[in-house]
C-alpha cells in the first residue's frame, strides 16, 4: 500500500516538474522535512544517553554482580535526568518502514527513457553517482561518529561505511542513487542543525 502511494506521489510530482530525477529529489526533501521532528527526537535521545554514559558505566561497574539493583539504579538515573532510553527507537523503526516501500516505488517507475543532469538513463547504474554517494556517506558517518568516545572504532566506522555503500551502490539504478544521495545530504544538514541545539533534560 505504501509503495503504491509513493509511486503515485512520485508520478504526480513528475507530472508537475516533468522529470523523474527532479521528482525523486523533491519527494525525498519533503519526506525528510516531514520526518524531521522524529529525527530530532531520536538525535536528542542519543545525545542525552551519551552525556550520561559515564554515570551509566559507574552503575554497571558498581552493581555488576547485582543485575536487579543495577536496573533499579539505571531507571532512577533516567528518571532524574528526564531521559527515556527507548525514545530513539520509534523514529528508527518508522524510517525503515518508509525506506523500503520508497525503494520499491522508485524501482517500479519506468525510468528507462528519463535523463537527469549528466545521467542519460536513470534506470541504469552511474559510476559518478556511486562515487558521490560514497563521499556523502563519508560526511554523514564523520558527523555521526564525531560525538562518540572510541576514536579507533570511529575511524574504522568512518571509512568502512563508505566502502560498503560504494560496493552496494554499483548494483542500483541511478534513480535509486538520486534518492539515496538526497536523503544522505538532508541527513547531514539535519545533523548540523541538531548539533547547534543543546540536548534537553541533561544537567549542564
Q: What is the chain's pLDDT, residue by residue, as a tens digit (204 residues)?
A: 778 888 888 889 989 998 888 998 998 899 888 878 877 776 776 677 777 777 877 877 877 777 788 788 888 877 777 776 665 555 556 666 777 787 788 777 777 777 888 888 887 888 898 888 888 888 777 776 665 444 444 556 567 777 777 787 787 888 888 888 888 888 888 777 776 665 454 444
201 is a domain residue: no
pTM of the model: 0.68
Residue 25's pLDDT is: 92
Q: Does some domain include residue 153?
A: yes
| Predicted local distance difference test score (pLDDT) of residue 174 | 84
- In a domain? residue 202: no
**204 within a domain of the structure (yes/no):** no
Residue 31 in any domain: the answer is yes
| 176 is a domain residue | yes
Q: Decide if 200 is inside a domain.
A: no
Structural domain tally of the chain? 1
Cβ-contact 194, 43 below 8 angstroms: yes
Range of the domain at 77: 2-195
3-state secondary structure of 63: coil
Give pLDDT, residue 152. Answer: 45
Give me the pLDDT at residue 21, please. 87
> Which residue pairs, CB below 8 angstroms and at least 24 apart, start in 182-188?
182/24, 182/25, 182/28, 182/29, 183/28, 183/31, 183/32, 184/133, 184/136, 184/137, 184/139, 184/140, 185/136, 186/28, 186/29, 186/32, 187/32, 187/39, 187/140, 188/136, 188/139, 188/140, 188/143
DSSP 197: S
Q: How far apart are CA 160 and CA 181, in angstroms?
A: 18
Residue 91 lies in a domain: yes
**pLDDT score at 149:** 45
Query: Which position has the grid cell 517500479?
Result: 108
Amino acid at each position: 500500500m505504501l509503495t503504491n502511494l509513493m509511486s503515485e506521489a512520485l508520478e504526480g510530482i513528475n507530472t508537475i516538474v516533468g522529470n523523474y530525477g527532479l521528482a525523486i529529489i523533491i519527494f525525498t526533501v519533503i519526506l525528510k522535512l516531514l520526518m524531521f521532528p522524529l529525527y530530532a527526537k531520536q538525535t536528542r535521545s542519543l545525545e542525552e544517553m551519551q552525556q550520561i554514559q559515564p554515570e551509566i558505566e559507574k552503575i554497571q561497574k558498581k552493581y555488576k554482580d547485582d543485575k536487579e539493583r543495577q536496573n533499579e539504579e539505571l531507571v532512577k538515573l533516567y528518571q532524574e535526568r528526564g531521559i527515556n532510553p527507548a525514545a530513539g527507537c520509534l523514529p528508527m523503526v518508522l524510517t525503515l518502514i518508509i525506506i523500503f516501500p520508497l525503494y520499491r516505488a522508485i524501482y517500479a517507475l519506468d525510468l528507462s527513457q528519463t535523463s537527469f543532469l549528466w545521467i542519460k538513463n536513470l534506470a541504469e547504474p552511474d559510476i559518478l553517482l556511486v562515487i558521490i554517494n560514497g563521499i556523502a556517506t563519508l560526511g554523514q558517518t564523520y558527523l555521526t561518529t564525531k560525538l562518540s568516545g572510541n576514536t579507533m572504532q570511529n575511524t574504522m566506522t568512518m571509512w568502512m561505511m563508505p566502502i560498503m555503500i560504494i560496493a552496494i551502490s554499483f548494483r542500483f539504478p541511478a534513480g535509486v542513487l538520486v534518492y539515496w544521495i538526497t536523503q544522505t545530504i538532508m541527513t547531514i544538514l539535519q545533523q548540523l542543525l541538531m548539533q547547534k541545539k543543546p540536548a534537553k533534560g541533561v544537567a549542564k
